[in-house]
Amino acid sequence: MTNPLSTEDLRVLEGDDNIKVRLLVQWTRDMAQEHLLYYVRHLSQKYFRTPTHPEMPVKLWRAMQEGPKTMLEEEVRMVETLSELCQGWWRYLGTPVEPAQFVSLDEWRQEYGIQSKWM
């Protein structure tokens, strides 16, 4: 995925005086958020044979931090780009009512740091 807009570009545009520009920035972030969930589910199905494997978000995050070991590099790059655009991450909750929850990158980093200590 070629990203013509960087995260910094979006931050600058968020402060634009034109409400339509700010709305387009929000739509971009919203679409990236939705596509990230779709893509994480796709990869989970590909590698775990289930779209909501509870380890998938952590494995993808680890692949972004340490480099891909079992996934393709372009898959990890796509996830990283989408995550940066939407400024967040999906975690699986494992409940039928709410199988996934979107969290900010700061919240995920804090949660991942706690999880990685026990892995």
Q: What is the pLDDT of residues 65-110, one digit of tens each?
A: 888 888 999 999 999 999 999 999 998 876 666 778 899 999 988 8
pLDDT digits (tens, 9 = 90+) for 7-30: 888 888 989 899 999 999 999 999
Let me know if residue 31 belongs to a domain.
Answer: yes
Q: What pLDDT shows up at residue 37?
A: 94
The phi and psi torsions of 107 (rounded to 5 degrees) equal: -65, -45
Let me know if residue 1 belongs to a domain.
Answer: no
SS3 101: strand
Range of the domain at 48: 7-117
Specify whether the CB–CB gap between 67 and 79 falls below 8 A: no
Let me know if residue 20 belongs to a domain.
Answer: yes
Let me know if residue 2 belongs to a domain.
Answer: no
65: closest CA among 81, 49, 76, 78?
Answer: 76
User: What is the total count of domains within the chain?
Assistant: 1
* CA 29/CA 33 separation, integer angstroms: 6
Let me know if residue 104 belongs to a domain.
Answer: yes
Let me know if residue 84 belongs to a domain.
Answer: yes
Let me know if residue 41 belongs to a domain.
Answer: yes
